[in-house]
Amino acid sequence: MGLIDVVNLSKAFGPKVVLSGVNLSVEEGESLVVLGGSGTGKTVLLRNIMGLLTPDSGHVAVEGKIISRLSRDELFQVRQSIGMCFQMAALFDSMTVFENVAFGLRRHQKMTEGQVTARVEECLSLVGMRGTDKLKPAELSGGMKRRVGFARAIALKPKILLFDEPTTGLDPVMTDVIGKVILDLKHELGVTTITITHDLKSAFIIADRIALLFRGECIACQTPEVFRENPHPVVQQFLRGDADGPFLQDPPPPKHKEALA
Ligand SMILES: Nc1ncnc2c1ncn2[C@@H]1O[C@H](COP(=O)(O)OP(=O)(O)OP(=O)(O)O)[C@@H](O)[C@H]1O
Ligand SMILES: [Mg+2]
């Protein structure tokens, strides 16, 4: 049993099958990177881990607790141990950086204002954003916003950090910086991380293991070195970033009943 176990996880929206039997296990302290084309269900996977979506079949377990079977209070407890860094940071635009990072602390913990301030400063400094407390999100660059989002996610001292495309839309230098911030957080805080990314360079920097989602399944989950040499045509196409290959081809049409008869 890992810290997070995804077992035969399936999820469809109406006729659209997104995940069909995903299996993944993340050990405590490990950094897993999940790769996959746009629309392959990476965010849906994270939302199942957070209990924001319910699986059609299969399950997600965090520390052995099956998320979809928890009561509201139990789910709230588990969510306290997970920090989520959403796609595009998702900060509150009307609040300052300080208020954004303090938000969860004020909501969930009985802390004095002095303790809140100390914790916010500590988190901003961990992501290299000290001194930005009074700024509003509109005054920040994309990379700075992401880092404030990280500071907000680590404020409650989670055991698990989930990053949904933390570098999309950033320049290569900032992409590198964000990758290193994630690595630092892992080392400084000893957290277990799942990072979804399109960026191969940061994937290879961050990952202890790399998983690839393709047509609803996890077709590889291995160390970066092994993944790089994986002969699977989809893995190789993804690594090369080629337009030609199985990755962009339509899935085979479902077999017609008569044809099966
Ligand atoms: N709540 C929902 N209702 C209906 N369809 C949904 C819902 N959430 C996701 N989907 C569909 O599920 C598919 C996978 O979505 P998801 O957001 O997980 O993709 P993704 O792999 O994160 O893509 P991207 O890399 O573009 O972020 C998409 O086709 C999307 O339209
Ligand atoms: Mg997504």
**Could you give the domains of the chain?**
1-81+160-249 (3.40.50.300), 93-157 (no CATH)
Report the separation in Å between the CA atom of 116 and the middle of ligand 1, taken as the mean of its atom positions: 35
Q: Is pLDDT above 50 for 2?
A: yes
Q: Is pLDDT above 50 for 236?
A: yes
What is the residue with the minimal CA distance to atom 4 of ligand 1? 13
What is the residue with the minimal CA distance to atom 27 of ligand 1? 38
Q: If you average pLDDT over every residue of the chain, what do you get?
A: 90
- Report how far residue 209's alpha carbon sits from residue 19's, in angstroms, rounded to the nearest whole number: 20
For residue 254, what are its two tokens? 């479902």
Contact predicate 97/133, CB 8 Å = yes
| Residue from 247, 225, 223 nearest 235 by CA | 247
Residues in the chain: 261
Contact predicate 32/207, CB 8 Å = yes
Ligand 1 pocket, CB under 6 A? 13, 18, 36, 38-44
Report the separation in Å between the CA atom of 42 and the middle of ligand 2, taken as the mean of its atom positions: 5
What proportion of the chain, given as a percentage, has pLDDT over 70? 93
Alpha carbon distance, N-terminus to C-terminus of the chain: 42
Mean pLDDT within 223-250 = 85
Report the separation in Å between the CA atom of 41 and the middle of ligand 2, taken as the mean of its atom positions: 7
Q: Is pLDDT above 80 for 245?
A: no
- Report how far residue 201's alpha carbon sits from residue 10's, in angstroms, rounded to the nearest whole number: 29
The closest ligand to the CA of 14 turns out to be 1
Rounded to two decimals, the pTM is: 0.89
Greatest C-alpha distance within the chain: 73
Contact predicate 160/63, CB 8 Å = no
Backbone angles phi, psi at 129, to 5 degrees: -125, 30
Q: Is pLDDT above 50 for 261?
A: no
Q: How many CB atoms lie within 10 A of CB 194?
A: 24
Mean pLDDT within 25-33 = 96
What secondary structure does DSSP assign to 225-236, as a single string? HHHHH---HHHH
* Residues linked to residue 161 through DSSP beta bridges, in sequence order: 83, 193
- pLDDT of the residue at 181: 86
In whole angstroms, what separates CA 203 from the centre of its chain? 12
Greater confidence, 188 or 22? 22
Specify whether the backbone of 157 is left (phi greater than 0), alpha (psi in -120 to 50) or beta: left
- Report how far residue 249's alpha carbon sits from residue 78's, in angstroms, rounded to the nearest whole number: 39
Measured from the Cα of 41, ligand 1's closest atom is 18
Report the separation in Å between the CA atom of 48 and the middle of ligand 1, taken as the mean of its atom positions: 12
For residue 11, what are its two tokens? 């999820």
Condensed to tens digits (0 to 9), the pLDDT of residues 79-122 reads: 989 998 887 778 999 999 999 999 988 887 788 999 999 999 99
Condensed to tens digits (0 to 9), the pLDDT of residues 35-77 reads: 998 889 999 999 999 999 999 999 999 999 999 999 999 999 9
| Residue from 67, 2, 63, 68 nearest 31 by CA | 2
- pLDDT of the residue at 255: 54
Measured from the Cα of 87, ligand 1's closest atom is 27
Report the separation in Å between the CA atom of 132 and the middle of ligand 1, taken as the mean of its atom positions: 33
Measured from the Cα of 198, ligand 1's closest atom is 25
Question: Three-state DSSP class for 140?
Answer: coil
For residue 46, what are its two tokens? 């994270």
- pLDDT of the residue at 123: 93
Strand-pair category, 4-13 with 16-26: antiparallel
Angle formed by the axes of helices 142-154 and 113-126, nearest 10°: 130
What is the residue with the minimal CA distance to atom 18 of ligand 1? 41
